[in-house]
Structures are given as structure tokens and as C-alpha cells.
Amino acid sequence: MGSSARRAAVVLLVAVVAAGACTGASQRRTASAESPSPAASVTATVSASPTSISSPTPTAAPAPTKPAPAPTKAAPAPAKPAPAPAKPAPKPAMSPPSAPIPVAASGLAGRVVAIDPGHNGQNYAHTAEINRLVDIGNGTKACDTTGTAARDGYTEAAYNLDVAQRLASLLTGAGARVVLTRTDNNGWGPCIDERAAIGNGAHADVAISIHADGSTTGRGFHVIYPVSLPGLTDAIAGPSQRLAVDIRDAYAAGTGMPYSNYIGRAALDQRGDLGGLNLSRVPKVFIETGNLHDNTDAALLEDPGFRQRAAQSLLAGLQAFLGGR
């Protein structure tokens, strides 16, 4: 074959080869478009790579976020305000009576006690009657006297009755039977011999006469008991002295009133000129519970609370005496 024929054959061969190559490439592109690659079906969020690679402008890393502040502690609940202090109860005008002593424990059940509140509220208006002389066993003496009074006018007669009634209430509550020589402050008398007779007639186990003194000097209390007078007080002098000691000790302890600093010895005084003692057939004492002419004593005797303590103390003294007989 000539050179021209060979060149024509070569050209024809190249054209055929080229046409086959193009046909294969076209077929491959068609297949690729219809059947996505396995990687593209894994997740819809994967994006294709960029067609051109360029150096992206560096962006600053976001500033780290500040950690959330620690939760603040809840403010403590405000403390509840302290309750307002209760208003003090008003003080009663008179002290309440003491709780009664159980009868079984009192030692007074069935005992008879004679209480003599000295003087009377109207004695001053009956001078002729109270000045009448009566027999006192070893002589004669006025039927009664008016008694004394504090500088403000508070009378011994009123005081004596108040304490006597308080004591009577306590004794009754403890099971004793009480006999009073007077029950009000509106009359005069009775005379001193009658007062002794009331205790004797009741067959009292013990008798006590309640008074307040009117000395111009000194203060304090004292207890008077009878001397031994043959045929009169010899049978009761010893028991009356023991009663005086029991009453003195209980009264001093229960009221705080000091011993008298103007009469007697250790708040005890022995006398033979008092008809109420001389004519008694039962153990008996007088108690001068304080001095109404002394301002300090008078302030105490006029206080209802003190008078209640006085009655309680006399009760304790009577219990001590009767329990030891």
C-alpha cells in the first residue's frame, strides 16, 4: 500500500478509536446520574466537597462562654418575730386564799380552836360599858379597851378581825371546828372574862387571841403566855408556853416580821395580869403581830397579802402545837 493509502488508513483507525472512547464516557456519565453513590445515601447532612479549594479567611474562635454563675443560696426566711410578752395579770386587791390543807394530812381534823379577835369596832362609842370592872382571877380589870390604830387611822380592831377570819377559814378547810369570840366589827365587847369563857365553854383544844400593839417605840412582834397562877393557870402554863414557842417560830418564818425590840425576850413575854389568859382553862396565848405605831410594821399589817401570810403562819403554829401534844 502507498503512503497515501497508509495515511488514510491510520486517520480512519484513529477516528474509530476516538468514537468508541466517547461512547463509553457518555454511557458512564448516564449511569452515574441515575445511580447515586453509596456514600450519598448514608446521611442527608453530608455536603459535596467544594469544586475549588481556596484558603478560607480564618475566623476568630468564639469566645468561651462564661460558666453559669453558681446558684446563690436562697436568703434565709426571716425569723418569726418573738411573740409580744403577755401582759401581766392585774394584781388582785386581796391575796387569794391558800389551797386548803388536805384534812387527812392536817392533823387538825376534829380539833376545836377558839380564836379571839381583840377589841371591837364600836368600843370607842361604849366607854361606860367597856370601862366596867370585871374579875380576872387575881384582881379586877376593865371589861375591854378600844385598842390602838395606825397613824393613818387603820384600827387594830379591824385588823384583828381580818386576820382571825382568814385563820378561821384555813382551819375549817383543814377539818377543825372554829369558835370565834366575835364575828363582825360593828359592836362592842365582849368583855375579857367572857372571851375566856367562850373558849372554855367550847372545850377548845387550844385558844389564841390576835392583836397588834401600839407602843410608842420599837417594832416587831411578840407572843404572850400566862404565868403559872395556883388554882388558875397552873394546869395550862406549861402547854401555853410550848404553844407560844410554836406560834413564835411559825410566825417569824412565815411573815419575816422581826422579834420585838422593845418588850419580852426572843419575842416571848410572860404575864399574869391579863384576864383572857388568867381565866382560860385551855392552852392559850396572845400574839401582838406587829406595832401599828411603827410605820414599817403598819405598812405590813395594812397589806392584805401580809395578813394572809400571818393567818397561814398562825395555822402552821397551831398545827405544830396540836401535832406534838
Confidence at 101, pLDDT banded by 50, 70, 90: low
CA distances from 206 to 67, 108, 215, 256, 287 (A): 96, 11, 27, 24, 14
259 part of a folded domain? yes
Give pLDDT tens digits for 237-268.
999 999 999 999 999 999 999 999 999 999 99
Q: What's the structural domain count of the chain?
A: 1
Q: Bigger pLDDT: 21 or 129? A: 129
Q: Using N-to-C axis directions, what is the helix angle for 156-173 and 304-324, rounded to 10°?
A: 50
In a 3-state reduction of DSSP, which class is residue 117?
strand
Cell triple for residue 269? Answer: 413575854
C-alpha cell at 292: 401599828
Cα–Cα distance between 318 and 309 in angstroms, integer? Answer: 14
Integer Cα distance of 200 and 207 in angstroms: 9
Grid cell in block for residue 94: 386581796
Q: What is the pLDDT of residues 192-231, one digit of tens each?
A: 999 999 999 999 999 999 999 999 999 999 999 999 999 9
Catalytic-labelled residue, pool 156, 194, 288, 302: 288
In-domain check, residue 124: yes
Q: How many CB atoms lie within 10 A of CB 145?
A: 15
In a domain, 137, yes or no: yes
Percent of the chain with pLDDT over 90: 66
Least trusted range by pLDDT, from 28-37, 79-88, 95-104, 314-323: 28-37
Quote the pLDDT of residue 92. 38
Q: Tell whether 30 is covered by a domain.
A: no
Residue 100 DSSP label = P
The reply to whether 61 falls in a domain is no
User: What is the structure's pLDDT at 219?
Assistant: 98
**276-301 mean pLDDT:** 98
The structure's pTM equals 0.70
d(CA 173, CA 194): 27
Residues 6+ apart with CB under 8 A from 307: 159, 162, 163, 166, 301
* 36 domain residue, yes or no: no
| Tens digits of residue pLDDT in 73-99 | 444 444 444 444 443 333 333 444 455
Q: Which of 21-30, 40-49, 95-104, 152-161 has the highest mean pLDDT?
A: 152-161
In the chain, the amino acid numbered 313 is S
Q: Which domain holds residue 265?
A: 103-324
What's the confidence (pLDDT) of residue 43?
36
The residue assigned the cell 445511580 is 35
Contact of 300 with 219, CB cutoff 8 Å: no
Task: For residues 118 and 111, give the distance between their C-alpha atoms in angstroms, rounded to a whole number.
Answer: 22
Q: Is 41 within a domain?
A: no
Q: What per-residue confidence (pLDDT) applies to 192?
A: 98
Assign 106 a pLDDT band (cuts: 50, 70, 90): confident
* β-sheet bridge partners, residue 142: 133
Active site residue 288: yes
Q: How far apart are CA 20 and CA 246, in angstroms?
A: 152
Instruction: Kindly state the percentage of the chain with pLDDT values over 70.
Output: 67
Element (H or E) spanning 287, and its range? Answer: strand 284-291
Residue 107 is predicted with a pLDDT of 87
The answer, yes or no, to whether residue 176 has pLDDT greater than 50, is yes
Give the β-pairing of 222-226 and 140-142: unpaired
Q: What is the CATH number of the domain that holds 241?
A: 3.40.630.40
User: Alpha-carbon distance 225 to 283, whole Å?
Assistant: 9
CA distances from 149 to 58, 78, 79, 146, 215 (A): 117, 62, 59, 9, 11
Which residue type is seen at 10?
Answer: V
Q: How far apart are CA 297 and CA 217, in angstroms?
A: 12
